[in-house]
Structure 1
Amino acid sequence: MASLSAAVPHLVNSQLGFDRSADLLRRNENFRCSRVQIHGNFSGARGTSGRWTDGSLCSRQSTKRKVLTCATSKDAEKSFQKTVEVDRLIDMLRESTSKEEKIESSTDVLKSVLKPVIHGDGEIAWPPQDPMALVSMEREMKLRDQEGQLDEGFLSEVNAQLRQAKEDGDKPGLEAMLQKVLQIYASNVLSKRTYAKRGNEVLEDERFLETLIRAPETSWNKILIDGLNMGKGNISPEDLYAVIKKRIERTLIRTEGGSYQQRILVEYLQGIELRAKEIVEILQGNRP
């Protein structure tokens, strides 16, 4: 492909050079013909008209060269057009192959992420019996994230598998596992940026939210009870809701509209808000 692409500018340059050479050749022939014709006129004035034959011969030779030049130019143009068409075809094939490899690599990445929590016989048990299995899955996701492999293709694959698991209805373990993958992804991405400090000042409500973002979903209840002023802490529910709303707005600005990443991050923050409201209701005695 590289050699073929490189050949295109070469063909263009060759064509331009050929046209210039042909132009110079035509000018030279016209100049020679003019000289012979002038000399013929001069000789005719002296009574010797034999030189006129040289002028007509020069004209025939010039015409023949023009025909050859035109034919060669058309051949070069046809060759150039064919080269461009082949170049475009190869680009289309390479783009198509790249998309296929993208889908395959996203599937392979997901398999690697889930491998620590899937038994050798292919059975899925959730939560994993081995606590280290979940740690290994989180470690694999961080590694893949550093390599730039947790992209839109990966998120699309996870969502497709999750949607299929929900439709089947007989794989609750797989559904919970895929939900966990999305939670870990959102936690890792949102934790990369902190808003808990303004100069030397520590913003307690922002820090509290970031504690929830980094924590696994199973720890949210305890963190909320210990942190909210209705429980053991000093953060009001209104302050928590306000910083969650602000973080959602920042996420919408910093992510591509309609992307899987945007949807997953926003849903994760909304999940924290929903859990906080549930805990508030329980602490207020409005729920059993």
Structure 2
Amino acid sequence: TAEAPADKERLSNLANAVMLLVNEMVKRSEQQLNDSGKVLQEVMSAAADANGEWYVPLTDGQVEAMRQRLLDNQEQLDEALLSNAFAWIKKCNEDGFDTMAQLIQKVLQLYAAIQLKGEETSGVAGIINELLYADEKYWGTILQKHASAGELAEPAFMEELQRRMEVVVLGLQSGSYAQRVQAEYLKEVEARAKGVFVKLAEAS
């Protein structure tokens, strides 16, 4: 019939259009990965010395420089960047580049801190914001300071931390790198805080 060739042509045109769309999406994904790789390199270079070498633990200045580079590229703190970071960590671990793997892990921690920090500056929420944004080596000191001053109790701290976790679990795409990185960071804070509260209870 006359309709059959027309239908066949329409299907063929549709298939071609779909193929073009898929190819374009692949190109964009590849470009995203390339762009995010450049951002990662830029962030990591902020912690390198004059010879382009990295040494851990990083100084406070190096950590802050990396954080600032992330903030400068905030529009590109997406799944492509996180995917690249995990791929690089895996490759570094396989090749024995432990220092580089630690450096990329620090990038992920800084990313999580940027995403999780709220606007509050007082109360338990404000203390958690301070904690999230601080380098992990200062977490114990910050917790002890506020607890000793009577500004922080474990139940209220854990309740607010759980609220943040619910926002991550319910508000971000399930199984995404963003959800994974932010949830792991909150769990790390929780584990460290529990240890501090135990020591404070033993000392009282």
TM-score range, shorter chain: 0.7 to 0.9
The alpha-carbon deviation at position 86 of structure 1 amounts to 3.9
- Higher mean Cα deviation, 89-98 or 211-220? 89-98
The alpha-carbon deviation at position 271 of structure 1 amounts to 1.3
Change (3 A) 1:74 1:133: same
Q: Which residue matches 1:161? A: 88
Whole-Å separation in 2 of the counterparts to 1:281 and 1:120 = 43
Alignment partner of 1:211 is 2:130 = yes
Identity among equivalent pairs (%): 25
Change (3 A) 1:212 1:95: same
Of 40, 50, 54, the match for 1:110: 40
Q: Which residue matches 1:273? A: 190
Task: Note the residue ranges of structure 1 that are not aligned, 5 or more in a row.
Answer: 1-69
Alignment partner of 1:142 is 2:105 = no
Q: Which residue matches 1:262? A: 179
Q: Which residue matches 1:125? A: 55
Task: Note the residue ranges of structure 2 that are not aligned, 5 or more in a row.
Answer: none
Asked if the contact 1:225/1:233 (under 8 Å) is kept, the reply is no
Q: Which residue matches 1:227? A: 146
Letter in 2 for 1:153: A
Change (3 A) 1:110 1:239: same
Which structure would you say has the larger RCO, counting Cα contacts within 8 Å and 6 or more residues apart? 2
Letter in 1 for 2:46: P
Give the match's secondary structure for 1:117. Answer: coil
Whole-Å separation in 2 of the counterparts to 1:105 and 1:209 = 32
Change (3 A) 1:274 1:258: same
The alpha-carbon deviation at position 262 of structure 1 amounts to 1.0
Change (3 A) 1:211 1:92: closer
Q: With the length of structure 2 as denominator, give the TM-score of the two structures.
A: 0.83
Of 170, 173, 192, the match for 2:99: 173
Whole-Å separation in 2 of the counterparts to 1:76 and 1:262 = 48
Alignment partner of 1:252 is 2:179 = no
Q: Which residue matches 1:16? A: none
Show CA shifts across 1:150-171 (max 9, x none).
1011111112222333344x43
Asked if the contact 2:45/2:52 (under 8 Å) is kept, the reply is no
